[in-house]
Amino acid sequence: MNTPAETLDMASSDESHSDPSSNNLEALLDRINRLASGEEAVEAQPEQRAVTEQSQVAPERPRPIVVPPVHNFEDAGRERKEWCPPEPKTLAQAGISEGQLEHLAIKCLGACGDCSGHELAEHHTVPFRLIEPVLATLKQAQLVAYRGSAPMNDYVYQLTEMGREQAKKLTEYCSYFGAAPVPLEHYIESVAEQTLTKVHPTRGDLERAFSDLLVNQNMLRRLGPAVNSGRGLFLFGFPGNGKTSIAERVTKAFGDTVWIPRAIGIDGEVMRVFDPALHEEIPLEMAAGPLHAREIDKRWVRIRRPTIVVGGELTMDALEVSPGTGNNVSEAPLQLKSNCGTLVIDDFGRQRMTTDVLLNRWIVPLEKRYDFLRLVNGKKIQVPFDQLIIFSTNLEPKDLVDDAFLRRIPYKIEVPDPSEEEFRQLFKIMAPILGMEYNQDSVDYLIATHYHPINRPFRCCQPRDLLLQIRNYCNYLDTMPTMCREYFDYAVENYFAVM
Give the Cα separation of 89 and 92 in Å (integer). Answer: 8
More confident: 56 or 163: 163
Query: pLDDT band at 56, cuts 50/70/90?
Result: very low
Give the Cα separation of 157 and 351 in Å (integer). Answer: 52
In a domain, 159, yes or no: yes
- pLDDT the model gives residue 159: 95
Query: pLDDT band at 446, cuts 50/70/90?
Result: very high
Mean pLDDT of 316-336: 88
- Both 219 and 147 in one domain: the answer is no
- Both 198 and 230 in one domain: the answer is yes
- Both 424 and 473 in one domain: the answer is yes
Mean pLDDT of 59-63: 50
- Both 165 and 208 in one domain: the answer is no
Give the Cα separation of 296 and 303 in Å (integer). Answer: 14
- Both 319 and 409 in one domain: the answer is yes
In a domain, 72, yes or no: no
In a domain, 63, yes or no: no
- pLDDT the model gives residue 499: 61
Query: pLDDT band at 227, cuts 50/70/90?
Result: confident
Distances in whole angstroms, Cα of residue 238 to Cα of each of 116, 220, 352: 60, 19, 21
- Both 48 and 137 in one domain: the answer is no
- pLDDT the model gives residue 194: 92
In degrees and rounded to multiples of 5, residue 345 shows phi and psi of -95, 95
pLDDT tens for each residue of 160-216? 999 999 999 999 988 999 999 999 999 999 999 999 888 888 888 888 888 878 888
In a domain, 73, yes or no: no
Mean pLDDT of 10-18: 43
- Both 302 and 236 in one domain: the answer is yes
In a domain, 6, yes or no: yes
- Both 305 and 212 in one domain: the answer is yes
In a domain, 84, yes or no: no
What CATH number should be reported for the domain holding residue 291?
3.40.50.300
Number of domains in the chain: 4
At position 249, the amino acid (one-letter code) is R
- pLDDT the model gives residue 412: 86
pLDDT at position 90 over 80: yes
User: What is the average pLDDT value for the chain, to the nearest integer?
Assistant: 82
pLDDT tens for each residue of 122-153? 999 999 999 999 999 999 999 999 999 999 88
User: Would you call 372 helix, strand, or coil by DSSP?
Assistant: strand
Among candidate residues 172, 328, 147, 176, the one with its CA nearest the CA of residue 262: 176
- Both 167 and 188 in one domain: the answer is no
Query: pLDDT band at 95, cuts 50/70/90?
Result: very high
pLDDT tens for each residue of 450-499? 999 999 999 999 999 999 999 999 999 999 999 999 999 999 999 998 76
Domain C-terminal end among 180, 212, 243: 180
Distances in whole angstroms, Cα of residue 462 to Cα of each of 212, 404, 469: 17, 37, 10
pLDDT tens for each residue of 265-275? 998 889 999 99
- Both 188 and 312 in one domain: the answer is yes
- Both 175 and 258 in one domain: the answer is no
pLDDT at position 393 over 70: yes
In a domain, 473, yes or no: yes
What CATH number should be reported for the domain holding residue 155?
1.10.10.10
Mean pLDDT of 221-247: 84
Q: Which of 17-31, 63-77, 276-290 has the largest mean confidence?
A: 276-290
Among candidate residues 263, 80, 55, the one with its CA nearest the CA of residue 179: 263
- Both 303 and 315 in one domain: the answer is yes
- pLDDT the model gives residue 363: 78
What CATH number should be reported for the domain holding residue 476?
1.10.8
Full domain range(s) for residue 447: 420-495
pLDDT tens for each residue of 280-312? 999 887 655 554 455 899 999 999 999 999 988
